[in-house]
Amino acid sequence: MRTLAVGRSETETEVNRSRFICTLYRIASDAEAREHISAHRRANWDATHNCTAYVLDDGRAARSNDDGEPAGTAGVPMLEVLRGRDLTDVLAVVTRYFGGVKLGAGGLVRAYGAAVSAAIDAAGVVELAYWQRLYVRVDYGLAGSLEGLLRLREDVRLVDVEFGAEVRFDLACSDVELLVDWLASQSAGAAEVEPAGTLRVEL
């Protein structure tokens, strides 16, 4: 899966004098998508249409709305572009200002799809992967040097460092066996490693 490289992006295309302004938002929930849609419609109240499509949960959740355009000519083609690009956690809103020339059903499908495609190209995307999450505990004498080395590794994402009776690193890695062996060698076997599920990371 992939998602937007930025939090928000906007592009504009024109088809037969109609303006199609596509705004993309990176989202984390259905509620956040609805909030963006409501705010966008309030801000663009004078538009002919504000059509929407979004995908969440690694593409398993999806919604679209034609906002008054003929059924299936706006929201669905927008959603198909998001799915076709293997995107998740992305909301697309295409604001149309009618230019006086009717496009027909086929023309609308092409125009809305093209608007979303252009916006994705402009925004850029990042690949997503699920890595194993680990808690690594070491004493304070090892923590400083180990943290510096962990931050240099491209196969590790350091999520958090907690300081208590000992230091706990919350991290994700692409290869658990490789990292555990490396931790053992760096700590002379003193590092304690605890599995903690998985974590989605950007590559």
pLDDT tens per residue across span 16-53: 999 999 999 999 999 999 999 999 999 999 999 999 99
Domain boundary among 123, 150, 177: 123
Within this chain, do residues 107 and 187 fall inside the same structural domain, yes or no? no
Q: 78: which DSSP letter? A: H
Please list the ranges in the chain whose pLDDT falls under 50: none
Q: Which amino acid is at 31?
A: A
Q: Which CATH number fits the domain that encloses residue 165?
A: 3.30.70.240
**CA–CA dist 103, 109 (Å, integer):** 9
- Domain containing residue 140: 129-202
Q: What is the pLDDT of residue 159?
A: 96
pLDDT, position 158? 96
Q: Quick one: pLDDT at residue 72?
A: 96
**What pLDDT, on the 0 to 100 scale, is given for residue 19?**
97
pTM over 0.75: yes
CA distances to 99, 132, 142, 180 from 169, rounded to whole Å, are 57, 14, 12, 13
82 and 21 within one domain: yes
Q: Over the range 49-84, which residues count as b (16 or more CB within 10 Å of their CB) and which as e? A: bbbbbbbbeeeeeebbbbbebeeebbbbbbbbbbee
**What local confidence, expressed as pLDDT, does residue 168 receive?**
97
Is there a single domain that holds both residue 63 and residue 161? no
